[in-house]
Chain A
Amino acid sequence: MDIIIQALINGLLTGSYYGLAALGLTIIFGVIKVINFAHGSLLMVGMFAAYWMVRLTGWHPYAALIVVVPLLFLFGYALQGILIKPILEGQRDVREPTEVIIVTTGVWYILDNLALMIFGAEYRVVQTSITGQIFMLGDYIFPKAQLYGLITTAVTAGLVLWFLKYTKTGMSIRAASLDRDAASLMGINQYRVYNIAFGIGAMIAGIVGCVLIPFYYVFPTVGVIFDVKCFIIVVLGGLGSIPGALAGGVIVGLIESTFSQYMTSTWTELIVYVVFLAVLFIRPAGLFGEKRDW
């Protein structure tokens, strides 16, 4: 029983940073209706930025947020403004232009392989002040770095929801995601809203980068692992849904941690795919998705 509870704890902790990674993706989809295939690569950029910050300054990994968050926001803002905007402008009447998937995949190839050329293929780790530390609650172990990750996920999701609900920019983002034409008629600059939404998505990928640094390897293709996971999580939870992304992340985390008690961990990956396909067959909108999105 103890083992099961510990596995559930581990699943929740892992699932929380999966959910955070998927959160950025789902926000971008919710507003712009495009899948950002470069999301994992943005996460990789965030991880490398955090890695070098910690490595060079010796700061706490969460202090690196001060640099990584604005950096990734600007990166995402520029990416949308320069590469994706021309496609959206050219295909106004198409709801989900596939060209965007291809362009973002191009960005993925470029970023991952630039990182490979600059930093080499080796797996890097950095010793931070919270690496390897644990927190005990009764008999159960909580690795500190992952516990902080869980808290960061909750805080980030809360802030994003607050931002979307109560700020003027947030309201215009929601308006544009509901009906882009009507929003434009109300005087909302559609493309500026898209830039901001993409920036927020990239920024969250940067936050995940800082969360992961104390306990995860950094290498140029680290994003691919998260890419495929995030795609599964957002579809599981419902594309565009913020609670869906978090719930989907926790579900995937729990599947991985509990099933690995009974079978080799490579099989758990297969179970995730099977659950994913089963959800698609039974409820294509995902757990929290809206019908109009599929």
Chain B
Amino acid sequence: MNTGIQKRKKIDTTLKVLLALFVFTVPLWVTSPTTLQILIFLFLYAYLTTTWNLVGGFAGVLPLGHSAYVGIGAYASTVLFISYGVSPWIGMWVGGLIAAIVGIIIGIPTLKLRGAYFALSTMAFGEGVRVLVENTMQLGPFNINGPRGICVPLIPGNNIAAFQFLSKVPYYYIILIMLCVVLFITWYISRIRPGYYLAAGGEEPEAAQSLGVNVAKYKVWAMGLSCFLTALGGTFLAQLALYFYPKQILGLDFSFELAFIALIGGRGTIAGPVVGALILRPVSELTRIYLSAVLPGLHLVIFGLVLILVMLYQPKGLVGPLEKLYNWFLDKVSGTEKEVRT
């Protein structure tokens, strides 16, 4: 009996180590830049949805304007680079700080409101930021170029200080490490006291408050942290694409996509956003590549259907059934029974 459990643990660890090895060695044997680019975007979405999940999942509210913070990160680091030659590596922290301050200012009044009000006000805020940027050519000393967007000036060759590389491999490792860091932060928060307060406040705000938890305070902190980390992702996106414009990086569609990836994967769980990105990104990429020429819009019809089906049959997200499947597999291989494991 005991040997079964030990064996199970061993297989579990081995599989996880193999997965980590696999993910970290991908660029050694994948040479196609296109494949790498798809993987980089997949990790970027996983990163952004994980940061969204800090407030959208654990705090139990539904922010629908997170593209605003991606945009703040991208614009901050890029205008600093253009105007003063500040390295994006420094600019990204400036963007993060601005995003955190903005997020806290927006969060203080709105996080006290009920779900629907919060969702609508974050959405209106995100759209407001987009309209503001689209109508502004010059913001103080910075040229933000209105609706046409900004190009990040090209620096020839690989330039670590300028956050620009010819090959996709450095981008791959940067975003992979960023993803690991936010996953670690999420894991860490979920097992310290403020994390428990946050989860309690997200699920039963009245009950948590009656036990003396200052729910609003923890939600505001979560919002600040989430916005900060989201903006760092924005800088990465800017350096990867080297061109961005308000409708794309500050658009409603982008905000919605981030929220829905997390919700389909499983909000409030650590692996949920990654699972969501892993499933939805390839679906939307492939349908867009192969079907949009035949039937424009079909990929979004499929996306909509997936959303509805998941919400009707797995409202807690896909991470639950996948975890069950994985456990079933482990039990099968190691020969342990459910009763023994408990």
**When the two chains form the complex, which single residue of A267, A276, A284 contacts B113, counting CB atoms closer than 8 Å?**
A284
Query: Interface code B111-145, partner A: CB below 8 Å = 1, 0 otherwise?
Result: 01111110111011101100110110000000000
Nearest chain B CB to A102's CB is how many angstroms away?
5
Q: Is A210 an interface residue (CB 8 A)?
A: no
> Cα distance A284–B263 when bound, in Å?
27
Q: Is the interface of B mostly helix, strand, loop or mixed?
A: helix
Give the contacting residue for A98; candidates B115, B121, B127; CB below 8 A: B115
Assuming A87-B311, A293-B114, is B125 touching A117 (CB within 8 A)?
no
Q: Is B278 an interface residue (CB 8 A)?
A: no
Contacts of B132 in A (CB 8 A): 270
Among the stretches B76-84, B155-163, B177-185, B296-304, the one at the interface with A is: B296-304
Q: Verify A106–B307 contact, CB threshold 8 A.
A: yes
**Could you say which residues of chain B place their CB within 8 Å of the CB of A95?**
114
* Other A-B pairs, 8, CB within 8 Å; known A107-B304, A294-B113: A35-B120, A95-B114, A105-B256, A109-B304, A235-B124, A266-B134, A266-B135, A280-B117
Whether A231 is near chain B, meaning CB under 8 Å from some CB there, is yes
A284 adjacent to B305 (CB under 8 Å):
no
**Interface residues in B240-290 (C-beta closer than 8 Å to A):** 252, 256, 260, 263
Q: State how many angstroms separate the Cβ of B297 from the closest Cβ of chain A.
A: 3
Contact of A266 among B131, B260, B305 (CB under 8 A): B131
Q: Least Cβ distance of B251 to chain A in Å?
A: 11
Chain A neighbourhood of B131, CB < 8 A: 266, 269-270, 273
Chain A interface bracket (under 10, 10 to 19, 20 to 34, 35 or more):
35 or more
Q: Which of B110, B114, B295, B305 contacts A106 (CB 8 A)?
A: B305
Contacts of A67 in B (CB 8 A): none
Q: Which among B119, B305, B315 has the highest number of chain A CB atoms within 10 Å?
A: B315
| B window 155-199: CB within 8 A of A | none
A248-293 CB contacts (< 8 Å) to partner B: 264, 266-267, 269-270, 273-274, 276-277, 280-281, 284, 293
Give the contacts of B80-119 with A (CB-CB under 8 A).
109-110, 112-117, 119
A116 beta carbon closer than 8 Å to chain B: yes
- Top 9 nearest A-B pairs (CB, nearest first) are A109-B304, A113-B297, A273-B128, A106-B307, A106-B308, A110-B304, A116-B297, A106-B304, A113-B300
Pairs A–B under 8 Å by Cβ, sample size 23: A29-B116, A35-B120, A83-B308, A101-B62, A101-B119, A103-B307, A105-B260, A105-B304, A106-B307, A110-B305, A112-B297, A116-B297, A121-B296, A228-B127, A228-B252, A231-B124, A266-B131, A267-B135, A270-B132, A274-B128, A276-B124, A284-B117, A294-B113
Q: Point out which of B121, B123, B135 has the most chain A C-beta atoms below 10 A from its C-beta.
A: B121
CA of A64 to CA of B29, assembled, Å: 63
C-alpha gap A155/B303 in the complex (Å) = 39
Q: Is A43 an interface residue (CB 8 A)?
A: no
Residue pair A280, B304 in contact (C-beta under 8 Å): no
A270 to B135, CA, bound (A): 9
Q: For residue B128, which residue of chain A has the nearest CB?
A: A273
Question: Which applies to chain A's interface (DSSP): helix, strand, loop or mixed?
Answer: helix
Q: Which residues of A contact B304 (CB under 8 A)?
A: 105-110, 113
Pick from B113, B117, B312: contact of A87, CB below 8 A. Answer: B312
**Chain B: how many interface residues by the 8 Å CB criterion?**
40
Q: Contact check, A107 vs B308: say whether CB atoms are below 8 A apart.
A: yes
Minimum CB distance partner of A286 in chain B: B117
Contact B296 A102 (CB under 8 A): no
A176 contacts partner chain B, Cβ-Cβ < 8 Å = no
**Nearest Cβ on chain A to B286's Cβ, whole angstroms:** 17
Residues of B within 8 A of A35 (CB): 116, 119-120
Known contacts A113-B304, A114-B297, A235-B121: A281-B109 contact under CB 8 Å:
yes
Of the candidates A113, A239, A276, which one forms a contact with B116 in the assembled complex, judged by CB atoms under 8 Å apart? A239
A90 within 8 A of B: yes
Most chain A beta-carbon neighbours within 10 Å: one of B119, B120, B123: B120
Chain B residues with CB under 8 A of A281: 109
A33 to B176, CA, bound (A): 41
The answer on a CB contact under 8 Å between A102 and B117 is no
Select from chain A the residue with minimum beta-carbon distance to B105. Answer: A281
Q: Are B62 and A98 in contact (CB under 8 A)?
A: yes
Is B252's CB under 8 angstroms from A280's CB? no
Q: How far is the CA of A276 from the CA of B315 in the complex (A)?
A: 32
Complex CA distance for A293 and B295, rounded to whole angstroms = 42
- State the Cβ distance, B119 to closest chain A Cβ, in Å: 6
- Docked-complex contact B120 and A231, CB < 8 angstroms: yes
Residues of B close to A220: CB separation below 8 A? 297
A24 shortest CB reach to chain B, Å: 16
Interface pair A280/B110, CB less than 8 Å apart: yes
CB-CB contacts below 8 Å: A66-110 with B: 83, 86-87, 90-91, 95-96, 98-99, 101-103, 105-110
Tell whether, in the assembled complex, residue A103 and residue B128 are in contact, meaning their CB atoms are under 8 Å apart: no
Expressed in whole angstroms, the Cα–Cα distance for A87 and B114 within the complex equals 19
A231 and B116 CA atoms in complex are apart in Å by 10
In the assembled complex, A200 has its CB within 8 A of some CB on chain B: no
Contact B127 A273 (CB under 8 A): yes
Q: Which residues of A191-243 are within 8 A (CB) of B?
A: 220, 224, 228, 231-232, 235, 239
A103→B308 contact, CB < 8 A: yes
Given known contacts A96-B115, A117-B301, A284-B109, A109 and B120 CB-to-CB distance under 8 angstroms = no
- The reply to whether B315 and A90 form a contact with Cβ atoms under 8 Å apart is yes
Which residue in chain A gives the minimum CB-CB distance to B309?
Answer: A106
Task: Evaluate contact between A83 and B312: CB separation under 8 angstroms.
Answer: yes
B307 near A105 (CB under 8 angstroms)?
yes
- Closest chain B residue to A284, Cβ basis: B113
